[in-house]
A and B are shown apart, each in its own frame.
Chain A
Amino acid sequence: MNPFVMFAFPFARHAFLAASFVAVAAGWIGFYVVLRGTAFAAHALPKVGFAGASGALLLGVNSLFGVSLYSAIAALGIGALAERDRRDVATALVLALGLGTGALFLSLGNLYAADAMSLLFGQVLGVSSSGVMETACVSAAAIALVVAFHRVLLFTTVAREAALVRGASNRTADWALLASLGLATSAMMPVVGALLSFSLLVGPALAARHLARRPWQAIAQSIALSLVITWLSLFLSFALGWPVGFFVACLSALAYAAARAISRALGRKAQAGAA
């Protein structure tokens, strides 16, 4: 089947645009997630966003509002509860509380399994034209935040002590990344779904880390990979009717495996050349 047939449908064009914005944001922010090893928070925030979306469904308000509110509260909660080395416990508990209220909202609203499914696994083909605008704005805000804190985020990770001496605060960096993740989550949730936002955040960025030598190079590669993965997943999902998230997850894992294999092969060649 010719994949370009899908552009004849307005809903498919919306999906394509929204997913592209999301892919850029995920690839960009994913770089910092991988750099700082905050995979658990990146996994937890979208899931908590799911609870916000189901609450919004119950009350009949815009789901973007519900997701943003919930992710913001969750990001604040994780940041506030996390003491030194206990971040994983705080994250797990905030995640559990968020999901618990999500389960409650779903059952109170008598929402059908289909609603839960589309929130968890994304409903990319249900994005409206105003939804595209919302996604674009929120993605841009999330990116703007990490760009503004780019130096602090890098400095505090790479040279922690030196950064502290120079007055760059690790806490500030943590908060900035959490806030940006919360925003990105709000943009991603309706498109890719809660469970698989995480694949897009971590997969391309991890692959890029194995290939790139410099930060900006890694960011560019991560965005490029994320876009390719998203577009391919959309085409495949459109052609086969299976959930988008399934393809996103498989292609992300594939990209990571390929990048590791390539970097290992290149590394061996470089070593052989040096010897």
Chain B
Amino acid sequence: MRIKTPREKRILYFKTTLRWILYYLLILLSFIIMTSGTWMKPILLVPAAMCIAVSNGQLASAFTGAFCGMLIDIACGRLFGYNAVILAFFCALVSLMFELYLRPRFFNYLWITAAVAFAQCWLDYKFYYQIWDLADIQVIFRTVTMKVWLYTMISAFLIYPLYRLIDRLLLPKIHMTLEEAIRTN
């Protein structure tokens, strides 16, 4: 990796701080939207966490995933930490997948988000409804779980450009030496 000058380091530090501030502002905005009104709403924090995991390291992604999960727990009245565990795990996994196997493209983000959102919704249905073996519980799966998943997927289309914009403006470009580039390829 090329050695950075002190000025470059300062700019990098500033941009990184600003990027994370914007990430978290968007997360809080998503939380506020999720807790407003009485209509059924998408779990906006899942695509948001995935967006961050696509372009950041595993640790940062896991922490963000945990934070988003906690907010989901508050918004959805779930056991505090339940969704945090799920999202921290998935965020770290997604971050790893994008680092090793996948390119940060919209299609990859979309199917990954679809899978994670479905897993989150399905686990929610299993642990919060089906496990109690209530009568007509499949109605919940049809009318709530699947609907929420669908809404979440639609919201993913809107959330992705916002995070991409932040990344495009503030994510540091990776500069490799010629030797590193040759080794990588």
Q: Do they bind each other? A: no
